Structure 1
Amino acid sequence: MSAGPETTNVSSLGKGDGLHQQVLASFPLCDMTEEDLTQNPQFCKLLATLAQHVDKTGLTVQLKTELDKAEQKLQSQRSHWLRSEILHRGLQEMIQDHCVKKRHAIVPPDQSMFYETMQKCLLVAQCVRQLDPSDTTNQDQPSVLGLTPQHLTELIPSEKNVQRMRRSLPQQLEKHLKEKCLSLLSYYQPEWENESEGLKTIKLSHLSALLDKEKKRAESLKETCRENTVLLQRQTQLYLSELTKCIQLLQSLILDHRLKIQTDLDGKKLDYFEGKCELVLQKIKTEMVEIQLDTYTVDSISAHRKIREKLEWELKACKAEKQSVELKLSSFEILGKEFESLAEEYCRLRQEIEMKNWALKEFTKYNEK
């Protein structure tokens, strides 16, 4: 039975892209994209139905009503507390201003009596409140040094001075608050500082409305900024997803194109390197010929030829001598081991003869000197 109204509510939100946009607008804090809603139509319908029962922050209608009532009550209590706090601070500021003024100028006695009486009354009231917390808590608190509020009421000034202070207090407090408001007005609009007091008073009556208007404008700008931030984040995610798809498509195109032309490219590279190697080899040969031409002149070539001929003749002579020596050695080997001992003895004697000839030459040179 309940499926009919829900279907009607969903269909009343819109279809296709309109439904997606309304769902995204109803849940700005959710990290969703239109693509997510397109891929999950049932989830989109669920969110569209849920949007009829909750607000943008996710609170139900009943909870939102109770929260608004609690906020109104809190604002009322806050306003009451702020009024009391403002009056209390205003009185303290008046007392401080009086103390400063008393140090720099002579103050009339009745005015001094007024501020002294007010200061004592404020101090006694503050102490009584500290000793009797029944207005703020339901728990009993132990007394401080055995004092009770009745002990402090004895410190209140005389009734005559209190009555006189109360009669003058509204006028003095109004004057003080008016000066503070005028200073606030001068801070808010410095160009109004030199205007007349009557015109300042008139503009002061509109200051609250102006400040409230500025506050609402600031809140509106903050809300707009927040919405723009959410929209920017959503658009950034969409842009990144599209950019990722484009990059993937580009990568696939690059790979396909590279595979197709890789063979031709390798062949062209091979031909290029072969030609380059051939050119380098020809250049090396040219450099070698130039070096030979610079190194070997006609005279040096003829000299080298003569040296070569002489070396070849000596080589032939050495080969012939080698062959004769090898023949002699082969004939000596036939004689056996006895000839080997004789050959060794012959070598030893030859070495001794050479040593003695050298010593005889050295001795002869020394005698001649």
Structure 2
Amino acid sequence: MSFVDSANITLFGKGDTLHQQVLASFPLCDLTEEDLSQNPQFCKLLVSLAQHVDSTGLTLPLKTELDKAEQKLQSHRRNWLRSQGLFLALKEMIQEHCVRKHYSTVPPDQNMFYETMEKCLLVVQCVRMLDPSSTTDKEQPNILGLEPQQVLQLMPSEKNVQRMQRGLPKELEKHLKKKCLSLLCYCHPEWENDSENLKCTKLSHLAGQVDKDKKRTESLKESVLEKTVLLQRQTRLYLSELIKCIKLLQTLILDHRLKIQTDLDKKKLDYFEGKCDLVVQKIKSELVDIQLDTYTPDAISAHRKMRENLESELKSCQEEKQHVEFKLASFELLGKEFQALAEEYSKLRQQIEMKNWALKEFTQYKNK
């Protein structure tokens, strides 16, 4: 390490605090301690730059010029705000006077005072609009072809203007005092019922209190900004660690999922086999219960008797079948001539039965 590097590190500190001090010197940079530790040369560069630039990245001479320009701008801004505030206060006084005229009778001198002030404000405003500034084009034609001198001729009489100027400080002070007391009551509603003298006494401390609140607000803003930067860094660190954990979890799942899945499938198979056996046993038990409810001892004995009768009838039918089959076999031995005689005999039997049925019907009809 060179002498310059040693001096820079000595300037910023030693050990683990170097990275924190570099990050504090460049809060707007999206860096982490891991980035600085992985790039030591870049860290040395930032240490060297911290001696020549501020936390926003501006060089020291440019920062000095920027501060002077800021002071000059603040001075012009204060002057403009002073004149603008006075102008708005005068317009509010005129508006309040117009409202009072509609609800109450106003003395003639007071009415003349506000009319003169309103005309003066309008003339001055028009002259300001007609008078080109140093930033505008002086050759640009005036509005409606008017010149500032022509508008100044519309000013009220000098006597009325002087009278208005003499009474203006008192009226303006009264108006501003009223607004200040309203502001005081807005900031502290509990002081609204106090006397006017007490309010004026408390009003002298209002500026200091507002300034204190403003400084406290700015301090809170800076604290919030610092906490926001810290939160962003911690969020990035948390996300990086979370990504690492997710990758590790994915690796564990891919490595052990098959083994775990096999064991799980085996346990599920054993479970379903046991459940199937249980269902089969339950079905058998239900069948036995149904049989017990259906076949009582009396029904079983009756079924046995019916079975015996059916078996005896079946036996007799089988014997009769054998006897008939024997006769048929003997008839088949006689040949085709006997078959023709059997058919003729069958026809004669049918005719005899038909005539017997007709005779029976005829006899029944005759008896009736």
Alignment of 1:1-369 (within 5 A): 4-6=3-5, 8-10=7-9, 12-134=11-133, 137-193=136-192, 195=194, 197=196, 199-242=198-241, 281=280, 284-316=283-315
Give, in angstroms, the shift of residue 263 of structure 1. Answer: 7.4
Gaps of 5+ in 1: none
Measure how far apart 1:94 and its partner are.
2.4
| Counterparts of 1:361 and 1:94, CA distance in 2 | 142
Equivalent residues of 2:127, 2:148 under 8 A apart? yes
Conservation of the 8 A alpha-carbon contact between 1:10 and 1:49: no
State the alpha-carbon separation in 2 of the partners of residues 75 and 275 from structure 1: 88
| Superposed CA offset, 1:136-173 (max 9, x none) | 62343333333322222221222233233333333433
- Return closer, same or farther for 1:84/1:282 CA change in 2, 3 Å cut-off: closer
- The code of the aligned residue for 1:122 comes to L
TM-score w.r.t. length of structure 1: 0.74
1:15 and 1:368 map into 2 onto residues whose CA distance is 148
- Counterparts of 1:333 and 1:16 in 2: how far apart (Å)? 129
Distance 2:366 2:59 in 1: 139
Q: Secondary structure at the match of 1:145?
A: helix
- Which region of structure 1 is more displaced relative to structure 2, 153-162 or 297-306? 297-306
| Counterpart Cα distance in 2 of 1:116 and 1:4 | 79
SS in 2 for 1:80: helix
Instruction: State the alpha-carbon separation in 2 of the partners of residues 304 and 367 from structure 1.
Output: 51
Q: RMSD in angstroms over aligned alpha carbons?
A: 4.6
Task: State the Cα distance separating 1:84 from its structure 2 match.
Answer: 1.0
Change (3 A) 1:192 1:271: closer
In 1, are the aligned partners of 2:116 and 2:156 still within 8 Å (CA)?
yes
TM-score between both structures, scaled by the size of structure 2: 0.74
Superposition deviation, residue 231 in structure 1: 2.5
Q: Given residue 187 of structure 2, which amino acid in structure 1 is its aligned partner?
A: Y
Q: Deviation at 1:26?
A: 3.2
Which stretch of structure 1 is more off in the superposition, 94-103 or 239-248? Answer: 239-248
Larger RCO (CA under 8 A, 6+ residues apart) = 1
Which one-letter code corresponds to 2:84 in the other structure? E
Residue 77 of structure 1, CA deviation: 1.8
* Contact 1:128–1:152 (CA under 8 A) maintained in structure 2: yes
Question: How many residues are aligned here?
Answer: 367
Alpha carbons of 1:95 and 1:276: their partners in 2 closer, same or farther (altered >3 Å)? Answer: closer
Distance verdict in 2 for CA 1:357–1:245, change over 3 Å: farther
State the one-letter code of the partner of 2:178: E
Q: Which sits farther off after the overlay, 275-284 or 140-149?
A: 275-284
**Most deviating of 71-80 and 141-150:** 141-150
In structure 2, the residue corresponding to 1:117 is in which secondary structure?
helix
1:84 alignment partner AA: S
Contact kept in structure 2, 1:131 and 1:143, CA below 8 Å:
yes
Q: 1:280 to 1:108 in 2, by over 3 A?
A: closer
Letter in 1 for 2:156: P
Contact 2:5 2:44 in 1 (8 A): no
Sort the Cα spacing of 1:358 and 1:338 in 2 relative to 1 into closer, same or farther, 3 A. same
